Amino acid sequence: MRKRVLSGNRPTGKLHIGHYHGALKKWIELQDEYDCFFFVADWHALTTTYDDVSRLKNDTREMVIDWLAVGLDPLRCVLYRQSDIPEVAELSLYFSMITPLSWLERCPTYKEQLQELKQKEIATHGFIGYPVLQAADILIVHADFVPVGEDQLPHLELSREIARRFNYLYEDYFGEPKAILTEVKRLPGIDGRKMSKSYGNAIYLSDSPSAIKRKVRRMITDPQRIRRKDPGHPDVCTVFALHEVYSSDILGNIETQCREATRGCTECKDILAERISDSLKEFRARRTQFEKEPGLVRQVLKQGSHKARPIARATLREVRRRMNIE
């Protein structure tokens, strides 16, 4: 019997190349090795966007189309929407009863996001309880593995702690999910900060070649290289950071030509833009085809919920029995 993997994304609309290299590329590989469950985390999205839900449905559709276009196959994995599995919310409620508040307050991402979004009122019950809902997502399908970046390891460890506490209180039932670390570093955006839709600095998977070229042309390069003849320093250049991902076969030449000032930054950017565009050619073709099928996303998510929900129901029945809430 194959091991089970679970992961999810908030519905942020069209995805960027950082999403692909940070998560989706790994998901595509995993669907041939494991029973994979990938979900649209629309409840999680409400923790920070509760005051503007107007784009939630459209953003869900756009993201799922991107999932399908990059190669997630509903015949090889289960794709579903979190809110289509109401048992997750009930399990989250039960977990919240046994999770000490101190566990949530010590979570580093909680403190970081409070600081990052300090202009917005996000210190809500839903926001601080985000990791409890995440634990319910993972444990309701008895996931063996969760693909995560290093920054998400504290959240996964909290899920493991909740599983251990439940098992201690109500006898062993949940396994402790393990991490599958995604190895690719976080890609920089065109302004040098981490690539993010909210920063407006992202290169999207669905961008046209001309849009990619315009964005790459705006990228920040070595601030010390003022003139064409000045030697560059690739280690501080965001363009070179993306070349490391897209130009591995010619990376040595690009680095040497930069350091020796035999190639200008504009030419270097154009090479990168072409590399990114070429890598997305098949994706754009598939996405265009999927966009012509208006009912596709609804059908895929419905089929996925029909596969995930029986597992969730069985888990919840057993949890209720153990907690004497039958």
Residues 183 and 144 in one domain: yes
Residue 201 lies in a domain: no
Residues 37 and 124 in one domain: yes
Residue 285 lies in a domain: no
- CATH number at 75 reads 3.40.50.620
Q: Per-residue pLDDT tens for 47-67?
A: 888 889 999 999 999 999 999
Dist. CA 148–CA 146, nearest whole Å: 6
Cα–chain-centroid distance for residue 307? Answer: 22
- Give just the sign of the alpha carbon dihedral 90, 91, 96, 98: positive
Please state which of the ranges 79-88, 259-268, 310-319 shows the lowest mean pLDDT: 259-268
Residues 119 and 258 in one domain: no
- CATH number at 220 reads 1.10.240.10
Residues 117 and 226 in one domain: no
Q: Per-residue pLDDT tens for 304-318?
A: 999 999 999 999 999
Residues 150 and 244 in one domain: no
Residue 31 lies in a domain: yes
- Do strands 178-181 and 35-40 pair parallel, antiparallel, or not at all (unpaired)? unpaired
Residue 195 lies in a domain: no
pTM of the predicted model, to two decimals? 0.93
Domain that holds residue 271: 208-279
Residues 161 and 254 in one domain: no
Report whether 81 contacts 42 (CB < 8 A): yes
Residue 203 lies in a domain: no
Dist. CA 122–CA 73, nearest whole Å: 35
Residues 49 and 118 in one domain: yes
Q: Per-residue pLDDT tens for 91-104?
A: 999 999 999 999 99
Domain count, the chain: 2
Residues 80 and 212 in one domain: no
